[in-house]
A and B are shown apart, each in its own frame.
Chain A
Amino acid sequence: MALLEIRGLVKHYTHPDTEVLHGVDLTVEEGEFVVIIGPSGSGKTTLIRCINRLINATAGEILFDGQPVNSLRGAKLRKLRTQIGMIFQDYNLIYRSNVMANVLHGRLGQMGFLRSALGLYSREELEAAHDLLVTVGLEEFMHVKAQTLSGGQMQRVGICRAMMQNPKLLLADEPISSLDPASAKVVLDQIKSLTEARGLTGIINLHQVEFAKAYASRIVGLRLGEIVFDGKPEELTDEMADYIYVR
C-alpha cells in the first residue's frame, strides 16, 4: 500500500476567485524522495499544504497510510499531523527561544497537556534533540537565541524540529528559497541524508531544476495546477523543464 495517495485534488480560493489545483492525482510510495518543481503560482505550496491540512482542499481525496485525511478534525487531525514533519521556506523559528527549545517544539504535539504546559521534556527527548543538533553541526549553538542565527543555520534548526517528531513523511515547502547557494546545498544535503538514514519518505517543493535533478529519486512537474511531468530525474529533458516553467 502506498504511503500517500492523492486523487482528484481540487483547491478553489474565494479571495481572489481562482482555482489553483485542477484535480491532481499523485501516489507516493514509502522511501521515495519526491521533488515537486514548478513556477510560483503553479500550486506547489497549496498541494503540499493540503497533505497536512494547513490548507483544506475543496474536493478530492487524500489517503495517508490508508487513512482519509480530509474529514479529520480536532484530536484526530493533530494525531495525523504528528506523523508528518514539515520544513518551511522562512524557517518560522520562535526567535526569542533558544535553539534547543525550537528543536524540542517538534515534540509538542505528542506530549500530554501538563507536560507541554510546563515544558517538561523527557531525558530521551533532550538526547534526541541534542543528537540531531550534532548531526547538523549546531551543537554548540544549543542555548543561543534563534534570532541570532544565520538563515542557513535557522533552516538546519527547522530540519531538526521536523525530525524531532519522528515522522513517517517529511514535507518541505521551498526550504532553500531564502538561502545563498552554499547554505542551500548544506540544507538539501542534510535533508536528504537524514531522510535516507531514517528511511523516511520526503516530498520537497523546489524552484531550481538543477537541485531537483541532483537530489530527487522522482520528479513531479506542476504547471498551472496540473501535473505535466512525473518520472525519474534522468527522464526530465531540458525541453520538458522549459515547458514546466513557461508562462
Chain B
Amino acid sequence: MYDKQARIKLWGNVLSVALIVAACFFYLRLDPLRLLTAAPSFISYIAVNFFPPSTANINVYASAALHTVAVAVVGTFISSALSLIFALLMSEAVMPYRAVRLAVRLFITFLRNIPVIIWASLLAFIFGVGSMVGLIALVLAATGFLSRSYAESLSEIAARKLEPMKASGAGTFAIIRHGLLPEFTPAWMNWTLFSFEVAVRASAVLGMVGAGGMGTMIRAQLELRRFNEAATMVFMLIIIVLVTELTAGWVRKRYLYEGTRNKKTLPPNHTGKLRAAPLHARAVRVLTVLLAAVIFFACLFYIDLDVARFVNRLSNAPRVLRMLVDLNPAMVLPGLRQFLTSFAMGAVGLVFGGVLAFVLSFLAADNIAPWKSFAVLIKAFVSVVRAVPSLVFILMIVAAIGLGHNAGVVVLILSSMGYLTKAFIATIEEQHAGIITAMRATGAGWGQIVVHGLLPAVAAGFLAWVALRLETSVAESVTLGVVGAGGIGTMLLRARTGFDYSTMGTLILIIVVCMACLEWGAGKVRKRFC
C-alpha cells in the first residue's frame, strides 16, 4: 500500500465505483433520505403489524411448508440427475466432439440465465397454475446452475488421474464409472446440497407467480393485509431454511470430511473372504441409495403432481411458443433500457450491501470480533436475513413503504448484505491465525489489525465474492420486477397481463442475452482477481 502508483489506482477504482453508484442513483431517481429512513420505519412497521404471529391456521401452513420442502427435494433429485448427464456431455474427457460440447453448453447457458421466477411465470402462463409448473421451473433453473457447476468440477479432475485406466486399455464407460465419478463425488455432493438450499427458498416463492405451495399463501395474506397470518408463514419459512442449512452442513461434515480421515487398516495376517470393498462400506452404500429412493418417492407422492392437467395443456404449448418467438423488434430498445434499470438497482444494492457486509464481517468473524456476544448477534441476524427470500421481503416492504425502485433497492441491499456477510466472514476466518497473533503481540489495536493485517490478505477474496454476487443481484433485481419493483421484470409482468406474446418473447431473450454477457464479464473480473 506504500507504492504510490498502487495507491492512485486504488483510489481511482474507488472513485469510479462511487461515480457509477451516483449515476445509478440519478438514473433510478432514488431518494437517499427515504432509503435511510426505510430501515427504521420498516422495522417498526413489522414490530407493530406482524406480532404476534397467529397460530390459528398453523395446520394448513404446516402442510404448505411440507409441500414446499417436498417440491425442493424432488426438483433437486431430478435436476441433479439431468445435470450429471449434461455435465458429462460438456466434459472433454467424455465427449470427444467439440460441436456437441458447445451445443450443450449453449443450452445450459440459456437455462441458467433465466431466473427461476421468470421460468415459473412463463410456464404458468402457458400451462396454467399448478404444482407441475413449479416443479418444472425449479428443475430448469437448478439444471442450468448445477450442470455448469458439475462441469467445472469435472474438468478440475485432472486428465492425468484418468490416464492409468486409459493406459491399461479401459473403455470410456469404465473410466467414467471407476475413475471420474468416484473423484467427482465430493464436489457433486457439495454442489447438490448447495442447490438444495437454494431450491428450498425458490420453492417457497414460486407460488407467488401461481405455482402453488407456501408462496401463494404468503402473497395472498400479505395482499389482504393479514399480517399476523403472513408472519406465521414467514417464521416457518425461516425455520425451514435454517434447518435445511444445518442439515446440509451436517451431511457435508459427516460424509465429506470425516470420510477422508478414515485410516482403518486391517490386522496383519487377517483371514476372511476377499472383497473389493469391505462389507460394511457396501451396506452403507446400498442403504444410502435406498434411503434416497424412499425420500424421493415419499416427496413425489406428497406433492401430488397435477400431471393429467399438465398433459392436457401440453397441446397448447407449440402455439404459445410460436407466438413467443415471433419477436417484436420495437420492444428491443425499451426492453434494453428496462434491463439497464434492473441492472442499476442490482448494482446499487450490491455496493451498499457490500459496504454493510464489509463492516459487519469484521465485527462478527470469530478470529477478530471485538465483542463476542455482538458477533453472535450479527451472525444470527444475518442468518435470518438470508433465510427470507427477497420476494417475501419485497412484499413485506411494499406493505411498509410502498412500491417502486426504493423498495426494490432496499430489498437488494438486504439480500446482498446477507449473502456477502456470510461469505466475507468465511474468508476472514480462513486467514492464518498467525497474522492476528503476530500483530496483537506488537500491541496493535483492532482497527490496525483489520487495516494492515487482514485487509491486504482478504481483499482479493472479497472482490471475487462481489463479482460472483453481481450476477445474482441483477437476477434478483429482475425477479423483484415480476412483483412490481420496476425494471425489465415489471415490463414482463405487464406484457403477461396483456397477453402480449411477442413482447414477452423479446423481453425474455433480452434477459438471457444480457445476463449471459454479465456472467461473462463477471467471470473475467473474477479471473483477474483470483
Does A244 interact with chain B (Cβ within 8 Å)?
A: no
**A138: nearest chain-B partner, CB-CB:** B265
A29 adjacent to chain B (CB < 8 Å): no
**Secondary structure class of chain A's binding surface, majority of residues:** helix
Chain B 257-291 interface mask (CB, 8 Å, partner A; 1/0): 00111111111101000111110010000000000
Which residues does chain B contribute within 8 Å of A197, judged by CB atoms?
none
> Is the CB–CB distance between B182 and A108 below 8 Å?
no
Say whether A94 contacts B166, CB under 8 Å. no
Considering the complex, give the chain B residue whose CB is closest to the CB of A101.
B276
Docked-complex contact A108 and B274, CB < 8 angstroms: no
Let me know if B183 and A95 touch, CB within 8 A.
yes
Give chain B interface residues in 108-167, CB to chain A under 8 Å: 160-167
A84 at interface (Cβ–Cβ under 8 A)?
A: yes
Q: Which one of A12-20, A110-118, A206-214 is at the interface?
A: A110-118
| Given A84-B167, A116-B174, A140-B267; A96-B185 close (CB under 8 Å) | yes
Q: Mark B176-212, 1 if CB is under 8 A from A, else 0.
A: 0111001101100000000000000000000000000
- Interface pairs (27), CB distance under 8 Å: A54-B167, A81-B169, A86-B167, A94-B179, A96-B183, A96-B186, A97-B182, A100-B275, A106-B168, A109-B171, A116-B170, A116-B177, A117-B177, A121-B276, A123-B274, A140-B267, A140-B268, A140-B270, A142-B266, A143-B264, A143-B278, A143-B281, A144-B264, A147-B260, A148-B261, A148-B262, A165-B169
Query: Does A78 contact B169, Cβ atoms closer than 8 Å?
Result: yes
Q: For residue A120, which residue of chain B has the nearest CB? A: B276
Among B169, B261, B266, B278, the residue within 8 A (CB) of A79 is: B169
How far, in Å, is A44 (CB) from chain B's closest CB? 16
Q: Which residues of B contact A116 (CB under 8 A)?
A: 170-171, 173-174, 177-178
Q: Does A145 contact B (CB under 8 A)?
A: yes
Contact A127–B182 (Cβ < 8 Å): no
B167: which A residues are within 8 A, CB to CB? 52, 54, 81, 84, 86
Q: Which residues of A have CB within 8 Å of B183? A: 94-96
Which residues of the other chain, B, contact A82 by a CB distance below 8 angstroms?
Answer: 168-169
In the bound complex, how far is the Cα of B275 from the Cα of A179, in angstroms?
30
Cα of A95 to Cα of B267 in the assembled complex, Å: 22
Expressed in whole angstroms, the minimum distance between the Cβ of B389 and any Cβ of chain A is: 35
Known A-B contacts A94-B183, A140-B268; the reply to A105 vs B165 at CB < 8 A is yes
B164's partner among A88, A129, A141, A142 (CB-CB below 8 A) is A88
Select from chain B the residue with minimum beta-carbon distance to A95: B183
CA of A86 to CA of B162, assembled, Å:
12
Is A161 engaged at the interface, CB distance under 8 Å to the other chain?
A: yes
Measured in the bound complex, the distance between the Cα atoms of B275 and A98 in whole Å is 11
Contact of A78 among B170, B185, B274, B276 (CB under 8 A): B170
CB pair A109 B168 closer than 8 Å = yes
Interface centre among A86, A92, A106 (most CB of B within 10 A): A92
Which among B163, B165, B267, B276 has the greatest number of chain A C-beta atoms within 10 A?
A: B276
Residues of B within 8 A of A141 (CB): 265-266
A86: chain B residues within 8 A (beta carbon): 164, 167-168
Which partner residue on chain A sits nearest B169 by CB separation? A109
Say whether A108 contacts B266, CB under 8 Å: no
Most B CB atoms within 10 A — which of A85, A123, A143?
Answer: A143
Q: Is A221 an interface residue (CB 8 A)?
A: no
User: Is the pair B265, A113 in contact by a Cβ cutoff of 8 Å?
Assistant: no
- Whether A145 and B259, one on each chain, are in contact in the complex, defined by CB atoms closer than 8 angstroms, is yes
Evaluate whether A165 and B182 lie within 8 angstroms (CB atoms) in the complex, with A116-B177, A126-B275 already known: no
Interface membership of A175, Cβ < 8 A: no
B262 adjacent to A144 (CB under 8 Å): yes
Q: Roughly how many angstroms separate A127 CA and B272 CA in the complex, as a whole number?
A: 12
Q: Which residues of A contact B267 (CB under 8 A)?
A: 140
CA A189 – CA B276 in complex, angstroms?
Answer: 27
> 9 nearest interchain CB pairs?
A109-B169, A81-B169, A108-B170, A82-B169, A78-B169, A126-B274, A140-B265, A96-B182, A86-B167
